[in-house]
Structure 1
C-alpha cells in the first residue's frame, strides 16, 4: 500500500529504538524469590556453594562475600553479603561488620579501577517496608555511578540499559580484585 493509504501508521517507523530485556521478566514475576525466610529458600545462603562464575561471586572473604546483583540498577552493581543468614545489620558481629566494610572499600577501589566509576551509591535496605527485595538476608549494595548514567530511559521508558553481560563484568572484577 502506498503511504497515503496507510493513515493508521502500521508498518511505518515511529523513530524509537527498542531495547529488549527479557531477563528482567524473571525479576518482575518474582521468580527465584524466596517464599519464606528460611536458609533453605535464601539465595544469599545458596550462592556461596555454587561455582563463582555461575553465581557471579567476585570475591570470598572469611565472613562475607561480594557478588554481582542479578538485577542491577547500574552496570557493576555489587552486593556484599555475610555468609551467616541474618536479616538486620544490628545482628552482625563486630568482625562481620568490619569485613563488610572492608569489602565495600575494596569493591569501590576495584570498580573505579576497572570501569572508571565517578561515584557510588552505597546502602542497605533493612526490611521489606524499606525496599529490601530479600529482607531475610542482610546485603549491602555498592552501585557505581557515572555522569549522565541515569538519563530519561529509567524515568520515561522504565528501562535500564546495561552495556555489558554480567558474566563479563564478573570476570573483570574478579581478575582485578587482587
Structure 2
C-alpha cells in the first residue's frame, strides 16, 4: 500500500530500467545484485511475493542485440536470481521468461527483462480472477531485506 499511495515519480514516462541503476540507492530501488552488464531487481508490480527481474543496464529490446558477454551474464544472473529465491523463500518451482513486444505483454518493450517468479504448490487463489487484485504477504521493503540477506550470505 505505501507504494500504491506514494506520489508518482515525475519521470514516470521515461524508461525506469535505465533510471533505476543510476540512483545510487540499491535498497530504495530494490536492486539485489549488480553485475558488470546486468542487474537483478525486485519487480514493483509483482505477480507473486519475491518476483524478480533480471535485465541489462543498456536499453535493448531483443536478445540478439545483446553482446555475447551481456547474454552470458544475463543467463548467469537468471540462475542466481533463482538461487537467491531458493535460499530465501524455498519455493516449489519458478515461472521464468521474457515478454517481447507489446503483443506479448511487455510493459516496457524497449528494454528486455526476464521475469523470475517463485511459485509454491497451491499458491493460486480466487483474488486475481474475482477481485482483479493480488495478495502479497510481505511489504516490498521487508522482502528486499530478506532477499538481500541471502545475496550477502552466498
- TM-score normalized by the length of structure 1: 0.78
Unaligned runs of 5+ in 1: 1-20, 35-40
CA RMSD across the alignment: 1.9
Aligned residue number for residue 58 of structure 1? 32
1:161 correspondence with 2:132: no
> What is the deviation of 1:71?
0.5
The aligned residue for residue 107 of structure 1 is: 81
Q: What corresponds to 2:46 in structure 1?
A: 72
Does residue 147 (structure 1) correspond to residue 121 (structure 2)? The answer is: yes
What is the aligned partner in structure 2 of residue 117 from structure 1?
Answer: 91
Hey, what's the Cα distance between the residues in 1 that align with 2:115 and 2:86? 15
Per-residue CA deviation, residues 73-129 of structure 1 (Å, 9 max, x unaligned), is 000000001011111111111111111111111111110111111100000000111
Alignment gaps of 5+ in structure 2:
none
Q: 1:175, CA displacement in angstroms? A: 1.8
Larger Cα Rg: Structure 1 or Structure 2?
1
Greater than 6 Å deviation, 4+ residue runs? none
Q: TM-score under structure 2 normalisation?
A: 0.89
